[in-house]
Structure 1
Amino acid sequence: MQRFDHDGVEIAYIDEGEGEPILLIHGFGSNHQVNWVGTGWVDLLTRQGRRVIAFDNRGHGNSSKLYDPAAYHPAAMASDAVALLDHLRIGSATVMGYSMGARITAFLALEHPQRVDAVIFGGLGVRLVQGEALPPTIAAAMEAPSLDDVPDPIGRMFRAFADKSGADRRALAACIRGSRVQLNPAEVARILQPTLIAVGTRDPIAGSAQELAAMMPNATVLDIPNRDHNPAVGDKVYKQGVLAFLAEQGV
């Protein structure tokens, strides 16, 4: 992986392929390898003639670990994405985020619209604006003495993954406390870029893709059949739908 410094935060990233750039932003507790390389996304997109940039969010993977929840506001995490585009001298790109990465993508599209050609939200629907996506109990799960001490099923899922991957659980606890920031309907209505919202039909975390799309001027929905939150990431319907969306938008 390559690295660069953004205001004292070291961000690790990959930059592969040639062609129109697409920036990939992974979900909470994951990293670029698990979310995008291991699921075949990087290989698929580079074979389609695209330049693929994927990075580890602050607090994740090989990037800097921070322990103040305020450091994980989605706007701060979106600023890492902008700094990476600056570092690579990329003016604008299509941006695809999954789950927490989709929330970061929304803030990026709102606050830096000139840098975003098109938007793909994976694993996040109406809970961008209402209700909870990832519950705050995940922080307690990260801080529990062991997996056996975590009763909440979603917390157990993320704690088990963190244990398996050797993640910095203290940083992840800070991240979940700082990143759960909602937008309001008026704000998402200002995301004017062509947008694809892709959610598994069995996803209990994302919320309705259709309800979110109804708030946005240029959004379409892709249902990922019979997929829960995590398995939807690498689903072939998701991949085919994204390729069709990119071709249709000419980005």
Structure 2
Amino acid sequence: MDYFESDGLKLAFRVEGEGDPIVLAHGFASTHRANWIETGWSRALMDAGFRVIMPDMRGHGTSEASYDRDDYTLSAMAGDLVALLDHLGEAGADLMGYSMGAMAALVAAMEHGGRFDRVIAAGVGARLLDADRDPGPVVAALLADDPSGIADKGALGFRLFADRNGQDRRALATCFEAVRAPFPVAGLGDISRPVLVVTGEEDEQARAPGPLAALIPGARAVTVPKRDHMKTVGDRAYKEAVLKFLAG
């Protein structure tokens, strides 16, 4: 792993391949390896001629953690993606995020649109438009001493995923509270970059991509058949849709 500094935090990243740069922002409780390498994404993009830039988002993987909620705003995470481009001397890049990473990618397109070319927001959909997205069950699951008593299946899934990836659960709980704040929906209409929104047909955490894409000028929506939030990540139909989008 290599490291760069952003907003006082030491963050990890990995670069693979040669060609046009694309930055990949992973989902909550994941890591660059779990989200992009183990799923075959980095190989698929390298084979398509891309230089793949994969950070561990702040508080995740081998990046530095904070226990201050203000350090986990989506604007801060979007700033990390720009700081990574600066560190690498890249004027711009394509950008793909999954779930939490997709939220950060959309905010990056709002706030730093000149630095990103095409944007893929996957694992997010209509639910992102809800003003009230209660973080309580997931936060409680992350902080529980014993996961066997967690009744909420979605929250339990995040807890087990965090444990599998060896994450700092206290940092993740702080992060989750921040990213579940109301999303800046009004800014979606200001995005001027080409955007693709992708969700799984059975993804109850994201819901349908169409209502979100409809608020972004010119955005396209794709639904991956018969996949939930976790299984969409490595799905072939998701990869095919993204590679077609990037091919223009």
Give the TM-score band, short-chain normalised.
over 0.9
Partner of 1:186: 186
Q: CA deviation at 1:196?
A: 0.5
Quote the residue 1:124 is aligned against: 124
Deviations 1:147-189 (A, max 9, x none): 0132211111111112222210000000001112333443111
Taking structure 1 as reference, are residues 135 and 208 closer, same or farther at Cα in structure 2, changes over 3 Å only?
Answer: farther
**Using the alignment, how far apart are the partners of 2:141 and 2:236 within structure 1?**
31
Secondary structure of the 1:234 match is: coil
**Does structure 1 conserve the Cα–Cα contact (< 8 Å) formed by 2:22 and 2:94?**
yes
Partner of 1:159: 159
Of residues 164-173 and 26-35 in structure 1, the stretch that sits farther from structure 2 once superposed is 164-173
TM-score when normalising by structure 2? 0.96
Equivalent residue, structure 1, for 2:142? 142
- Check conservation: 1:25, 1:97, Cα contact below 8 A: yes
Map residues 12-27 of structure 1 onto 2, 5 A cutoff: 12-27=12-27
Deviation, 1:243, is 0.4
- Gapped regions of structure 2 (runs ≥ 5): none
The answer for the alignment partner of 1:198 in structure 2 is 198
Please, which moves more after superposition, 104-113 or 124-133? 124-133
2:60 corresponds to 1:67: no
Quick one: percent identity of the two aligned structures?
45
Q: Distance in 2 between matches of 1:70 and 1:184?
A: 16
> How many pairs were matched up?
248
**Aligned letter for 2:245?**
F
Answer yes or no: is the 8 Å Cα contact 1:74–1:181 preserved in 2. Answer: no
Counterparts of 1:221-240 in structure 2, within 5 Å, are 221-240=221-240
Q: Which amino acid aligns with 1:225?
A: P
* Whole-Å separation in 2 of the counterparts to 1:174 and 1:91: 32
Q: What RMSD, in angstroms, separates the aligned Cα atoms of the two structures?
A: 1.3
Residue aligning to 1:55: 55
- TM-score, normalised by the number of residues in structure 1: 0.95
Give ranges in structure 1 of 5+ residues lacking alignment. none
| Structural mapping, 1:87-106, within 5 Å | 87-106=87-106
SS at match of 2:233: helix
- Helix, strand or coil for the counterpart of 2:65? coil
Tell me whether 1:169 sits opposite 2:160 in the alignment. no
Structure 1 runs (4+) deviating above 4 angstroms are 131-134
- Shift, 1:208, TM fit: 2.0
Q: In 2, distance between residues paired with 1:45 and 1:133?
A: 33
Q: Deviations over 1:55-90 (max 9, x none)?
A: 100110000011111110000111111100000011
